[in-house]
Structures are given as C-alpha cells and as structure tokens.
C-alpha cells in the first residue's frame, strides 16, 4: 500500500518543519489520503505526571492529518483541530495513523488515531480530527489580509 | 490581580513538566480561574513555512487552560481540546491568556486566546477551549481501568 | 446483533423526549455500546436551502451517541458535541449510527455518522462526536450548584 | 446598534428556513458581524428530562453564528460546529447572541452564547462555535462534487 514517491515527498516536507525534526517524526507509510507516522518517546515530551504532553499528542494528530491531506492537495494549513485524550499517553513508542474523511477543493476533513506501545502492548490513547485548507487559497487570503 | 501564592504554585507545577521547560513557558500572572503565560519564539517551534507549529499552539492553549483550572481544582487532566488557527502564528513573542468558563466538580470548561507580537504589534492568532477533569477523580478511573 | 431488551429500554426513553417524538426517531438496532436510529425526512426540518438543518443533524448525532452511551451507563447527559457537515444533507430518509469509543465512569466518548438516502442511494453526509457524563454523577453536581 | 436593513434581510432569510419557523426564532438585533436571536420555550423542544434538547441548543448556536457571518458574507453554510452544554437548559425564554471572531474569504469563525431565563433570572447555559463557508464558493464545490 505504501507509495514510495509520496513518502519521499512527505519526508522532504517534514524535514522543513523544525518542530517535526525535534519530535523525531518518521514517515512510515503513505498512500493516497492516508499516512502512518511514528516516533520514539523522549522524556522532554512529558507533562507534569510524565505522560506525553497533550500538546504533543495534538502536534502528532495535526501533523498526520496534514500529511494525509497533502497527499491529495499539496500544501495545506490546519484551520481547526480537536484532540480527545482517551487514556494516559504512556509508552516507549508512539504511532499515529491519519486518513482523509472528506476531500474538497476548499476544505479537507481528516481524522487520526494515536497509539502508544508500552511493554510491547499497543493501546489507543487519543484520537482527533482536523479541518484543513489547501494552501494556495489560504495564501491568497493572507495576501488579502495584508 | 496577580495572586503571588497561586503563581508560585503553578510555577512549581510547570517546572515538573519537561515539555513546558522546553517551551520556555513563563507564568506571568495568575488569579482565581485565570492565567497568563508567555514565551519567546524559537526557530525549532516552526512548521514547514516557519510559522509556529499548530501543535505548539495547542500545547500553549491546553497548558494555559489546565493552569486556569488548577487554580480552582488542584491537578487536572485535559480530556479534550480544540484549537482554532485564526491567522498565521508568526512573532518574536507569544502570550496566551486562559480563563475558566464553567467550573465543576466533575468537569471544568476553560477557554484561551493566543497572541503573537511581531515588530511590536500584537495580534490574536489562535483561540481554543479545553474540557478538563479534576485529577483525583481521574486517578480513580485510571485505577479502575488498571 | 440487536439486543431486544436494550432496544425496548431505549425506545421507552426516546418516547419520554418530546423532541425525539417530533423528529419521528425510530430505534432500529441496539447492542452494547452501539445503536442505529433512523427517521423519514419532513420539510419542516429544512434550513433556508431546503437541506436538513445542521441543528437537526446535530440533534441526531447527539441523540444517537447518548443512546449508545446509555446502553453501558444508564442515563447520561451530553457535555459537549461536535458536528462536521461533510456534504449537503438531502434525502428522503436518514440513518444515524453511533458507537462508544471509550467508556468510563466519569466520561464517555462516543462518535456517530449520519447517512442520507436519496433516490435509493445512501451517502455519508455528516459525522460527529459527543462527550457524555453519566447522569447519576451529574445530578450530584447539579445539586451542588444549587 | 441595531441595523434595521440587515435585520430585515435576516428575517427574510429566517422565514425561508422551515425549521427556524418551527423554533419560533425571532431576529431581535443585528449589526455588522453580530446578532441576537430569541425564542419562547415549548415543551416539544425537550429531551427526556424536560430540559431543552441539546440538539435544539446546537440549532440555535449554529443559526445565530450563521446569521452573524451572513451580515458580512451573504449566504453561508456551516462546515463544523461545537456545542458546550454548561448547565441544564431550563427556562421560559431563550436568547442566543453570536459574533464573528474572524472573518475571511474562505472561512468565517464565529462563536455564540445561549442564555435561559427562568423565573426572571437569566443564566448562560451553553456556548459554542461554528466554522462557516461563504456559499458562493461552496456552491462551486458542490458542482464539482456533481
């Protein structure tokens, strides 16, 4: 199912994003409208109790949905996203899968699930959805905004 | 309006959160049910176009709402949060203000606004809201999930 | 998969809800943590262009998720819900399916999909998610609120 | 602050919406980017415990935000909305105020608050936000979708 050309393109985009590099994000698998990313846990990703910070969970869900949308529409910007923290996000390794729910010329709806692997067992810890805007149009809007 | 005792307590909590330290979060002002945090921009917070990564914006909104709730209810966990990316998040300095919209024993609703200062001018770049659960109860639930 | 006892219980609950009766909601199928409801279109459900009003779409998503949660936790109240309007909601018949994503003692996460049948063809027109609170606890909170 | 011309235009639009008529929605006040609507309670708006059905609360928030956006952009369609049920929605009379948070050519962010008056005392019972798309563009997208 992996499309090596799309994967190569998203890896190049991800390397342009300084925060993605900090996260250590790996682009594991890409197909039309869907991606899987993963990353190893690092202690500096923690909130006060040592779980993965909800903000990092959101960054993963936002990024994965953005990449899934980008397979269909080129560069995109998130317009709104929601993160549902289902269980404590604790693990040595995290995996996020995203897919486009509804493509569109003006708006793209995507959704993602975040899994943590702890002692070899994988659990769904969060899910979320993102509404994205293809960037060519957004750029025009930014120009209008001056 | 600042309550130095609450401020001191939240600063101590923030220092326990490794990712808050990485962000360089400062706890500027705290009162009952409301906080203001701020941080300087760093290039490693960027997405591919160099704007602040939407995930970082979410981390700021989530953290500020969590702190606002914590002034009323002790430790809390975010159960769900939403980030609305209103304008490109570009600036040298960011400021996030949060307040509790509706306190409760089981659930706390909070909302936040994120401002960027660029060339001395401050703009609202994102807003969002967070639903939080006081942690004493959540802990019990985690035990049940055990 | 249908559990006739749960179905009977939810039908009785639905009949207590005046607005559910107005909607003409039918409780088609119920199992532990999941339901399917349906209803015929009526013109008074329309927005200005004659599509199903987004508020009705929300009522269906909210109600279906509440019923799915109620199969696990007795009476529940929605604390927050989101509706994503994917396509124009036009049809002679509507069907909404909901399932619990994550049960809990304090909070229940559920999600739903709304389908429209038009000229014999069924399309996904909206989806959404609901965060619910088991009512026994909510009642206590209301008492505290006076 | 009321703009009688905009008010007249929104009243005409509201009368085209069959469900708005069923709700008994009154367009009390309109200015550029903001509206106030109100309606009397009727028993058929109830959920099982007799509170206003969360779906009706959503319809009010969605409609008020759509009207606020329409003062700036002509006809709009809701793309996504969220309702936060803060307190039991019980009263003889309801009032919803909405305003545009961020206008745009492609997307409009709006937010609303719903108040209930019970025994002469008014309480905030719900709030929410809506992301809207100006309809001229949406129409084009629908055409593309066939």
Residue C142 has pLDDT above 60, yes or no: no
Q: What is the total residue count of chain D? A: 146
**Residues 53-82 (B) with a CB less than 8 A from some CB of D:** 82
Distance (Å) from the C-alpha of residue C105 to the closest C-alpha of chain B? 7
Domains, chain B, in order of start with CATH, read: 4-145 (3.10.129.10)
C-alpha span between A140 and A133 (Å, rounded): 12
Residue C145 has pLDDT above 80, yes or no: no
Residue C21 has pLDDT above 50, yes or no: yes
How much is the pTM?
0.93
Helix (H) or strand (E) holding D34: strand D34-40
Residue A82 and residue C84: Cβ atoms within 8 Å? no
A 10 A CB-CB count for B102 gives: 19
Over the stretch B32-89, which tens digit does the pLDDT of each residue have? 999 999 999 999 999 988 899 999 999 999 999 999 999 999 889 999 999 999 999 9
Residue C107 has pLDDT above 80, yes or no: yes
Distance of CA B71 to the CA centre of its chain: 13
Split chain D (146 residues) into runs of 10 and give each run's mean pLDDT: 95 95 97 98 94 97 97 93 97 98 95 97 98 72 41
Residue B137 has pLDDT above 70, yes or no: no
At C143, the pLDDT band (50, 70, 90 cuts) reads very low
Q: Which of D19, D45, D46 sits opposite C46 (nearest CB)?
A: D19
- Spatial neighbors of D59 by CB under 8 A, at least 6 apart, are C53, C54, C55, C56, C58, C59, D19, D23
In 3D space, the residue among D97, D89, D85, D87 whose CA is nearest the CA of residue D116 turns out to be D89
Q: Which residues of D touch C20 (CB under 8 A)?
A: 47-48, 53
C-alpha span between A79 and A16 (Å, rounded): 20
Distance of CA D10 to the CA centre of its chain: 11
B104 touches chain A (CB under 8 A): no
Q: How many angstroms separate the first and last alpha carbons of chain B?
A: 42
C-alpha span between A108 and D2 (Å, rounded): 36
pLDDT at residue A59 in the model: 97
Residue C87 and residue A101: Cβ atoms within 8 Å? no
Distance (Å) from the C-alpha of residue A1 to the closest C-alpha of chain B? 26
For A15-43, what is the mean pLDDT?
97
Residue A82 and residue C82: Cβ atoms within 8 Å? yes
At C138, the pLDDT band (50, 70, 90 cuts) reads very low
- Spatial neighbors of A19 by CB under 8 A, at least 6 apart, are A59, B44, B45, B46, B47, B53, B55, B56
pLDDT at residue C100 in the model: 98
In 3D space, the residue among B42, B38, B25, B31 whose CA is nearest the CA of residue B4 turns out to be B31
A139 touches chain B (CB under 8 A): no
Q: Which residues of A touch C101 (CB under 8 A)?
A: 84, 86, 127
At A138, the pLDDT band (50, 70, 90 cuts) reads very low
Residue C103 has pLDDT above 60, yes or no: yes
Q: What is the total residue count of chain C? A: 146
C-alpha span between C62 and D63 (Å, rounded): 17
Best interface-test mutation with A: which of D81, D83, D106 has the largest number of A CBs within 10 A? Answer: D106
* Contact of C14 with C27, CB cutoff 8 Å: yes
At A32, the pLDDT band (50, 70, 90 cuts) reads very high
For B126-137, what is the mean pLDDT?
89
C-alpha span between A139 and A74 (Å, rounded): 13
A109 touches chain C (CB under 8 A): yes
pLDDT at residue B146 in the model: 32
Over the stretch A65-99, which tens digit does the pLDDT of each residue have? 999 999 999 889 999 999 999 999 999 999 999 99
At B120, the pLDDT band (50, 70, 90 cuts) reads very high
- Interface pTM, i.e. ipTM: 0.91
* Contact of B67 with B42, CB cutoff 8 Å: no
Distances (CA, A) of B69 to B106, C18, C77, D3: 12, 36, 22, 39
C-alpha span between D65 and D68 (Å, rounded): 5
In 3D space, the residue among D132, D16, D141 whose CA is nearest the CA of residue D71 turns out to be D132
* Contact of C56 with D59, CB cutoff 8 Å: yes
A 10 A CB-CB count for D46 gives: 22
Distance (Å) from the C-alpha of residue C114 to the closest C-alpha of chain A? 13
pLDDT at residue D135 in the model: 83
pLDDT at residue B1 in the model: 80
Which of A65-74, A137-146, C93-102 is the least confident region?
A137-146
- Residue D125: half-sphere exposure toward Cβ, Cα within 13 Å: 27
Give the pairing type, strands D108-118 and D121-134. antiparallel
- Identify the residue whose tokens are 């890409």: A30
Over the stretch A97-137, which tens digit does the pLDDT of each residue have? 999 999 999 999 999 999 999 999 999 999 999 999 998 74
DSSP state of B25: -
Nearest CA in chain D to C45: D19
Structure-block tokens of residue D43: 């028993």
For C78-104, what is the mean pLDDT?
97
Distance of CA B74 to the CA centre of its chain: 15
Residue C84 and residue A127: Cβ atoms within 8 Å? no
DSSP string across D69-137: HHHHHSSEEEEEEEEEE-S----SEEEEEEEEEE--SS-EEEEEEEEEEETTEEEEEEEEEEEEEEHHH
C-alpha span between A67 and A110 (Å, rounded): 10
Residue A38 has pLDDT above 70, yes or no: yes
For C44-52, what is the mean pLDDT?
93
Q: What is the total residue count of chain B? A: 146
Structure-block tokens of residue B55: 């995930």
């Amino acid at each position: 199912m992996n499309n090596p050309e799309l994967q190569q393109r998203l890896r190049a985009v991800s390397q342009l994003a300084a925060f993605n590099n900090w996260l250590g994000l790996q682009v594991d698998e890409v197909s039309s409208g869907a991606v899987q990313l993963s990353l190893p846990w690092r202690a500096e990703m923690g909130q006060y109790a040592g779980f993965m910070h909800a903000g990092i969970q959101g960054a993963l869900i936002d990024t994965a949905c953005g990449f899934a949308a980008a397979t269909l529409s080129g560069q995109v910007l998130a317009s709104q996203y929601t993160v549902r923290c289902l269980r404590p996000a604790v693990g040595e390794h995290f995996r996020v899968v995203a897919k486009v729910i509804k493509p569109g010329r003006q708006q793209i709806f995507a959704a993602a699930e975040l899994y943590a692997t702890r002692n070899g067992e994988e659990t769904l810890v969060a899910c979320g959805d993102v509404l994205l805007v293809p960037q060519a149009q957004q750029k025009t809007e930014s120009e209008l905004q001056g």
